[in-house]
Chain A
Amino acid sequence: MSDRKEKRSKSEGGIPPGNLGQFPNENNRSIPDIAANVPLMESARDGQRGTEKYHEKSEMAAGKGWGVAYYKQDYPERDLDDDVNPNDTLVQDVSSTAVLTPLDDDLVGEVKELEDRGNWTGRFDFLMSLLGYSVGLGNCYPVEKLTQGNGAVLVCCGPGNNGGDGLVCARHLKLFGYNPTLFYPKKPNKPLFDNLTKQCQGMELPFLSEFPTDVEVIQRSYSLVVDALFGFSFQPPVRPLFAGVIDTLKKVETPICSVDVPSGWNVEEGDPNGLQPQLLISLTAPKRCAKLFKGRFHYLGGRFVPRALEQKYDLQLPPYPGTDCVVELNTGNS
């Protein structure tokens, strides 16, 4: 969709390279083209992932011959210092056939991270990080303690990738014993979202045909609201449909759980008049606006950043406990 193309290039231009959400990188490195040598899969060209740009297939994957055991070099340093024309560095997910949540618009804090992700981890990590969201939610609001409608959760999905995240999250929540209901008014016309929707339907999740405008109705019917409307790359203005949804959500007393960025917030500066979720689950690394998060629970999910990258970009990420896919961050707000 052309909207998304524009949105993304705006955010690329608008965000100084080297900003790490919460942890600014002083060097302001230009955006590296890490994935230039990464081979591309055939099926990746079929346009399933919308606005990504692809590189030519390299010979890297062409068979490791038999011989002496080898150890892969450290993650290549050489590419990261090159000055590259930003227009050439649109590295998206190069690694999967996947119909998972692409999150290409929801640049996680910055373009470089997207490229890192696109290069070596692909969509799988988003799947896991969405599992993380659901697990985090499950930790904070155990289903047996929810009072309304037998663990009923209202999952609000926006028109982009954050919305796709919501769909995956809802599916996991259903498996965990909750009863999610989806509000998904603007599904992009792409196989990815068609499939995610179908997966939710296969899990018997109902889809609301319109958003309840009555605050009381929401409060009575649902124990939680998952806010998967807009993510990192959100640029105002909000279209009227979603503006109305956000307005209503601002008034409900039901706890709101936001996926990566509270919807409508400016990713750097937040929005004091915007949604105030009780739970925020940041993907990969917290965004700058998370500093202004005033809710009770802040989790980090998306446990896949290799240590080399963490060090390279000076991401001060806490260790994940054991085999967990989420880690709780201290908000100082409870």
Chain B
Amino acid sequence: MGCCYSSEDKPTEEEEEHLIPPSNIVCKPNGTDWPTPSVPSARTDEQALLTSILTKTAQNIIDVSAADQHMMEPHEYMDRARQYSTKLAVLGSNLPPKKALTLPSLTTQPHQVLASDLVPYSDVQQVSKIAAYAYSAISQIKVDAKEELVVQFAIP
């Protein structure tokens, strides 16, 4: 298990750059040692890359615990609360009033509709059967685990 430089995918981003310049790698058939870089400046490159990764992470991640906790004066707090509530009041009045849920009219002849024939028993049976099939089908939906969810990288 050696580590050979693959020419299939050439990463363009900084993070995916090889820490050790690929041109210096020698493939060993029983690769138990990491190939040692022959160029001493590789160390500083590594340093530079690590620093860049660090700065990128620092920019992207917000550290809540390290943030300054400035104490607010009580009057400042009251002022802000008042500010926010007035803003809310202004915005709230602009919202359209909530539409009342009105029942739609289903028919203009309620007596006729209610007096007409009941649903035939055969129809009820058929619908019950279809519902039973659907229920049975849904209850058979399950996860088919094919592989391990967590795998270990094979690091020699």
Is the pairing of A and B real?
no
Interface residues of B (CB under 8 A from A): none
